């Protein structure tokens, strides 16, 4: 940035040559390794994002750049298959001696994900072959193919999870059971006794931590209990949701019901007790971890972008096994709020941490808030979040839709076309929508006539009134059968060209109160509209936002559906929602129209209009105060 402005700056003393630092070049390196021990993973995430982009936006120049970079990676791979530049550069004699902290298996997981995505996008398997060779080396080195021989590594598992779900993906591409078995092995060993990590670290002469500290470290890496016995989401939030995603993958592929039930309980623990209204998880900077149930501070929230991305991963996998609107609602909540807020609207700066309240002057003074940045950063030394955003957003269709043999589910409302083969026939649906700008969604069938299948469309829990019409090509009611189940409208039968489902979800502003056990939010409400959480900024409301209070009057209402003229009611499910009157408008941020909500309120008892913008858009106009939860002085509820 200084260079661009023509200002003086100090050139970095060393450069990280990474994958180009081949063994024969090592003696010429000025420094053995530059960066974090997991630096390789950032490249693999970039490759994955490139792959997803190439599927819908072919780019010959970008593909050639990726091919060249992939070749550098493959050239760095050792003859035995090992591929981690930290140890290739610093010495192979120490490999897998600290898998709790040094992320070799984490980097392996991202290598697999990047290689699999690139193979599926381009058909090129150069990186995929490198990933297989590395996994085969791990299986051999850990002694997993020789049960009769003793090897401490047989009880090892990743310090930072992700290999678990990546190995399942490698299994699905290659059909090789050994990769599925390795994933299951890592999951089965985690949390067993004696704890493998402590067995290793206690052999180090400088390791003198107390039993209490060791227990915290067990929870930090989710190794405090065998995974099937874990009920509460604890520890490092990103590691946790990556583990839970791998658990869900294994449960889905093997029919392990105990593992599936653990996933359900862990998901409920997060969503009911430890998730912010913005879909953020991870409440403290200490270990980037969860706190206890209902411990959700706003100003010191860690709420890492990657944690919400991992929550999307987990929710998507649960949907694959059990289509329930709860998982899709959470996935949407995380995606449209914390994931989007993690990147500026011009795509050039990022948040690592996504708090729910910011007062810049205080952030700069108080040590407990030194992780909170009032404006997005150009980059991070630990740059996990930017490429993670890239790979999620570029693969979004994989989260919007799932399928089985005869059913297609729509979880997120994205415009476009989706194809599905059913008994050799092609079903094709065109989805037309301006969502989330409005709540109208049209799904029109354009495939072969007579395809018998089921279409499942999510009916979001936050919509007070949802209307659906099932029409034929002449826009008249048709005879397709339908049913409601776990928040999805299922339309069944033989589809004919022109058959359509028109959905309308209410986009009224809503006020949410937090659970009364969340001390930081007693007497406060958060504003939402559609999938978006809203916040106030100093730009629109002046300084000292905590002096403001909402006075909007509202009425509680139940939820209703109207499908082809038939009403279905579910009363009292929205007991914590209010539907206030709001003045709608827009502001221009970075030459984009941002929806604004205005409500009656007051500042220290004096009437004032309060202006709210979507949370994802905050801090795009520069440094200023921001808050999500606001004092409420309206109708009691």
**Which sequence positions are flagged as catalytic?**
288, 384
Residues 6+ apart with CB under 8 A from 635: 553, 554, 555, 578
Nearest Cα residue to 223 out of 235, 232, 231: 235
What sign results for the dihedral spanned by CA atoms 89, 95, 101, 107?
Answer: positive
Q: Is the Cβ–Cβ distance between 142 and 85 less than 8 Å?
A: no
Q: Is the Cβ–Cβ distance between 88 and 21 less than 8 Å?
A: yes
d(CA 470, CA 476): 8
Q: What is the SS3 assignment for 114-181? A: HHHHHHHHHCCCHHHHHHHHHHHHHHHHCCCCCCCCCCHHHHCCCCCCCHHHHHHHHHHHHCCHHHHH
Element (H, E) at 602: strand 592-603
Nearest Cα residue to 307 out of 329, 337, 327, 328: 337
Longest pairwise C-alpha distance within the chain? 79
124 forms beta bridges with none
Q: Is the Cβ–Cβ distance between 238 and 306 less than 8 Å?
A: yes
Nearest Cα residue to 291 out of 279, 276, 306: 276
Q: What is the SS3 assignment for 287-318? A: HHECCCCCCCCCCCCCCEHHHHHHHHHHHHHH
d(CA 467, CA 442): 12
Nearest Cα residue to 97 out of 66, 141, 144, 40: 141
State the alpha helices, DSSP H only, in 425-524: none
Q: Is the Cβ–Cβ distance between 121 and 51 less than 8 Å?
A: yes
Q: Is the Cβ–Cβ distance between 458 and 319 less than 8 Å?
A: no
Q: Is the Cβ–Cβ distance between 445 and 428 less than 8 Å?
A: yes
**Coil/strand/helix, residue 79:** coil
Q: Is the Cβ–Cβ distance between 421 and 481 less than 8 Å?
A: no
Taking residue 582's Cβ as centre, other Cβ atoms within 10 Å add up to 21
Chain centroid to Cα 282, Å, comes to 12
d(CA 304, CA 222): 18
d(CA 534, CA 277): 10
**Coil/strand/helix, residue 104:** helix
**Coil/strand/helix, residue 356:** coil
Element (H, E) at 200: helix 196-201
Q: What share of the chain is helix, strand, coil (3-state, %, to 5)?
A: 40, 20, 40
DSSP codes joined into one string, 3-72: HHHT---PPPS----GGG--GGGGGG-SSS--S-TTHHHHHHHHHHHHHHHHHHS--HHHHHHHHHHHHH
């Amino acid at each position: 940035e200084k260079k661009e402005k023509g200002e003086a700056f100090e050139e970095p003393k060393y450069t990280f040559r990474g994958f180009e630092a081949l063994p024969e070049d090592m003696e010429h390196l000025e420094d053995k390794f530059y960066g974090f021990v997991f630096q390789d993973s950032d490249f693999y995430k970039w490759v994955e994002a490139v792959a997803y982009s190439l599927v819908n936006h072919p780019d010959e120049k970008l593909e050639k750049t990726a091919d060249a970079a992939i070749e550098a990676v493959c050239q760095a791979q050792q003859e035995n298959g090992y591929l981690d530049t930290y140890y290739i550069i610093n010495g192979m004699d120490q490999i897998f001696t600290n898998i709790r902290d040094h992320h070799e298996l984490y980097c392996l997981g991202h290598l697999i994900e990047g290689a699999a995505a690139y193979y599926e996008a381009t058909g090129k398997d150069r990186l995929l072959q490198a990933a297989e060779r590395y996994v085969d080396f791990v299986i051999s080195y850990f002694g997993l193919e020789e049960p009769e021989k003793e090897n401490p590594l047989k009880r090892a598992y990743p310090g930072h999870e992700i290999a678990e779900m990546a190995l399942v993906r490698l299994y699905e591409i290659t059909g090789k059971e050994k990769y599925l078995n390795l994933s299951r092995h890592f999951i089965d060993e985690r949390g067993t006794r004696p704890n493998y990590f402590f067995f290793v670290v206690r052999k180090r002469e400088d390791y003198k931590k107390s039993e209490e500290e060791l227990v915290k470290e067990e929870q930090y890496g989710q190794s405090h209990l065998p995974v099937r016995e874990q009920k509460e989401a604890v520890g490092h939030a990103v590691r946790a949701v990556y583990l839970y995603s791998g658990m869900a993958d294994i449960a889905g592929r093997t029919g392990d019901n105990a593992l599936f039930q653990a996933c359900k309980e862990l998901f409920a623990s997060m969503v009911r007790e430890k998730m912010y209204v913005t879909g953020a998880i991870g409440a403290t900077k200490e270990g980037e971890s969860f706190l206890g149930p209902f411990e959700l501070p706003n100003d010191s929230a860690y709420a890492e972008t990657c944690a919400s991305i991992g929550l999307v991963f987990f929710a998507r996998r649960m949907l694959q096994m059990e289509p329930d609107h709860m998982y899709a609602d959470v996935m949407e909540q995380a995606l449209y709020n914390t994931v989007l807020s993690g990147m500026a609207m011009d795509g050039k700066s990022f948040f690592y941490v996504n708090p729910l309240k910011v007062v810049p002057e205080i952030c700069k003074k108080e040590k407990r808030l030194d992780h909170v940045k009032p404006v997005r950063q150009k980059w991070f030394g630990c740059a996990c979040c930017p490429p993670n955003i890239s790979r999620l957003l570029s693969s979004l269709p994989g989260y919007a839709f799932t399928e089985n043999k005869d059913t297609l589910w729509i979880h997120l409302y994205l415009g476009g076309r989706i194809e599905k083969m059913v008994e050799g026939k092609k079903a094709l649906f065109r989805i037309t929508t301006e969502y989330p700008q409005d709540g109208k969604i049209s799904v029109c069938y354009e495939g072969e006539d007579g395809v018998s299948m089921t279409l499942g469309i999510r009916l979001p829990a936050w919509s007070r009134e949802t209307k659906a019409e099932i029409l034929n090509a002449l826009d008249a009611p048709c005879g397709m059968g339908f049913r409601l189940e776990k928040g999805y409208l299922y339309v069944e039968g033989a589809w004919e060209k022109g058959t359509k489902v028109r959905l309308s979800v209410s986009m009224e502003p809503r006020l949410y109160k937090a659970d009364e056990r969340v001390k930081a939010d007693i007497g406060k409400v958060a504003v939402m509209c559609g999938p978006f959480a809203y916040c106030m900024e100093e730009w629109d409301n002046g300084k000292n936002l905590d002096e403001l209070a909402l006075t909007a009057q509202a009425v509680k209402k139940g939820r209703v559906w109207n499908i082809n003229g038939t009403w279905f009611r579910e009363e009292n499910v929205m007991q914590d929602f209010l539907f206030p009157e709001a003045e709608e408008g827009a502001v221009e941020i970075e030459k984009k129209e941002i929806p604004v909500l205005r409500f009656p309120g007051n500042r220290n008892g004096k009437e004032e209009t309060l202006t709210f913008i979507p949370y994802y858009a905050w801090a795009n106009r520069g440094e200023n105060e921001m808050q999500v939860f606001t004092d409420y002085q309206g109708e009691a509820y």
